[in-house]
Structures are given as C-alpha cells and as structure tokens.
Structure 1
Amino acid sequence: MVKIEEAIKQREFKDPYNKLMVNLLYTHSYLVSAQSGMFKPYGISPEQYNVLRILKGQNGTPTTVSSIQERMLNRMSNASRLVEKLKLKGYVKREECPTDRRQVDILITDSGLKLLATLQEQVDRFNREAIHLSEDEVSALSELLDKLRG
C-alpha cells in the first residue's frame, strides 16, 4: 500500500481535510487512468462507456442528449460530442423524434450492446482488482462517500 504522502512526495498536509481532498483527487485520477487503459483497445473512453451504460439502462426506450448529460458520472463531459463519436463508431443511433421534430432521440445499437457484453467481465474484474478493500470496507466507504456529498 502506497500512502498519499509517498505517492505525491509530500511529507505533511495542512490538516486532515486537505489530505483527504488531495487523496480523493489523486485516487480519482488513478482510477480514470487505469480505466482509460482498459477501454483503449476497444477505442472508447470511460465517458463513452458511461454513455453506453446509460443508454443500455433505457431498455430500448429512446432518450435525449440532455437526459444523458444529467445522468453522467462526469457532468462536465460534452454529451453531444460523446454521442456523435459513438454514432460514428456504430454504437448509437440518432433519430428525429416523431412527436417533436426539434428533439433528437438517442438509442444504443446492437453493436453497442455487444461491446458492453464483451467488456462486462473485464470491467467486473477491474473493479475487484483496482479496489484493494474487503466487501465490508467497500460498503462502508461507499456510505461514507454518500455522506461526504451531503
């Protein structure tokens, strides 16, 4: 186990709150980098994977880019750009909404569903291997993070 002080070569922190904030940001970067490496051979990013998972959760019901944006893990991501990249790869399709021509419906394609199925076992394994905690610790940390966000 590498402590945050060793990882960033800092001996001490101003206070425990500062240390926790740095640790959370460092850990986020570590996990996103590792995830990016896992998805790279498939030509997608963690954000594109998030969009595909959101669309899969729609169970075939079309949704809008704004709805996708609201549900994204990283709300700073540009959902329109991500959807367009996924469309070019054949993983999603955009269709004009039959009831409102100004609205565009987004659906996951069979290719997108196949990609998620291919990735599922690898993602499950990654989640277990990247998080060096017991199941009880994982549950406790998840509850603490929920509490942290208030």
Structure 2
Amino acid sequence: MTNINVSTLDTYKDIGMGLNKDIKQKKFKSEFEKVVVNLMFSRNWLDEQQQKVLKPFGLTVPQYNVMRILRGQHPEVCTVNLIIERMLDRMSNVSRIVDKLVSKELVSRIPNLQDRRAVDVFITDQGLNILEQLDDSFQELFEKINSFSDEECSLVNDFLDRFRGTEPD
C-alpha cells in the first residue's frame, strides 16, 4: 500500500496566511471578486495536493476521476459518453484518458453490443485495488485539511451550488 505523508503537504493553516498574502494582492474591486479569485486559487491548491497523492501511482487527476466514475458503475460497464457526462473537468479528452488507463491495465474496453460504433469501459480488479489504496491516502489528506464542522461544510456546499446558479441539495 502506497500512502503519502500528509505532514509534508503545503497547507493554508500556517498562522497569518490568507489570500492577500498568498497572491500578494491587497485590493479587490469587491468581496465577491475576492471570492472568485479565492475559489480559483483554492482549486489550484487542491489540485496540487491531489497530484501529490496520485503521483506515486502514476495517475493524473482526470484519470483518477474516470476510475472513480467506473468504480461507481461497477460491476456494470460504462459508455464513454456517460463518463463525459460525469467528469468533473468536462474539457478532458476522455478517450485519451481511457487509452492511458487501458495501457496501465487499470480499465478495459469491450465493444458495445447495441452500438458497434461505441465501446464499453469497465474498471479492472487492479484498478479497484489502486482506488482502495488511494481512498486511504485521500482520507488522510482530507483529515489533515478539514478544519470545518459538518454545518460549515453544508453552508459552503450551498454557497457553491448558488454560485453556479443551481439550487442547493
């Protein structure tokens, strides 16, 4: 099992750190503009943390996303179109990602019986084993960076849903 040492992660929990200091910008046109910049900065920071977890496994964030989608469908197969619909980063080239995962023997492709132009994709046992190891590493990361109550997390989730113009769950 490959786990990362999360004590080496760059976290925002250092005393006195905030967006203004992190990006060396003091002025924003509004608090909302600061929220937008903070979301972009925080997303990139979180991507860096995820990449540190995934690097020992030779995976990228989009590859990990595809594998999680396939695990969610397991033991059923999944079409490439369904993967595209469920991707967190809709700009990803899913066919290329699947090709890379097939070459690593983490997923497999089979012809779709209803549509000969389509292929079905499923996660292999090796892919499931890698995800199980990654679950432990990500749980460790989340425990390290989570300083929020469930109520605070719910409020942030509601805010982010409203930010995207959707109704909160």
> Deviation at 1:101?
1.3
Mapped to 2, the partners of 1:129 and 1:81 lie a distance apart of 33
Query: 2:128 aligned to 85, 103, 113, which one?
Result: 113
> Deviation at 1:139?
1.8
Q: Give the structure 1 partner of residue 32 of structure 2.
A: 17
Which segments of structure 1 move beyond 4 Å, counting only runs of 4 or more?
A: none
What letter is aligned with 2:45? Y
Are 2:89 and 1:74 equivalent residues in the alignment? Answer: yes
RMSD value over aligned CA atoms? 1.2
User: Partner of 1:52: helix, strand, or coil?
Assistant: helix
Q: Give the structure 2 partner of residue 83 of structure 1.
A: 98
Unaligned runs of 5+ in 1: none
> Deviation at 1:111?
0.5
Deviations 1:60-91 (A, max 9, x none): 11111111011011111111111111100000
**So what's the TM-score if we normalise by structure 2?**
0.84
Q: Give the structure 1 partner of residue 4 of structure 2.
A: none
Matches within 5 A, 1:1-150: 1=13, 2-150=17-165
Higher helix content, 1 or 2: 1
Mapped to 1, the partners of 2:137 and 2:151 lie a distance apart of 22
> Deviation at 1:136?
2.2
> Deviation at 1:99?
2.4
> Deviation at 1:102?
1.1
What letter is aligned with 2:107? V
> Deviation at 1:126?
1.1
> Deviation at 1:146?
1.3
Mapped to 1, the partners of 2:90 and 2:58 lie a distance apart of 21
> Deviation at 1:134?
2.5
Percent of aligned positions that are identical: 41
What letter is aligned with 1:141? V
8 Å contact from structure 2 (residues 74, 122) kept in 1: no
Unaligned runs of 5+ in 2: 1-12
What letter is aligned with 1:90? E
> Deviation at 1:132?
2.9
> Deviation at 1:133?
2.0
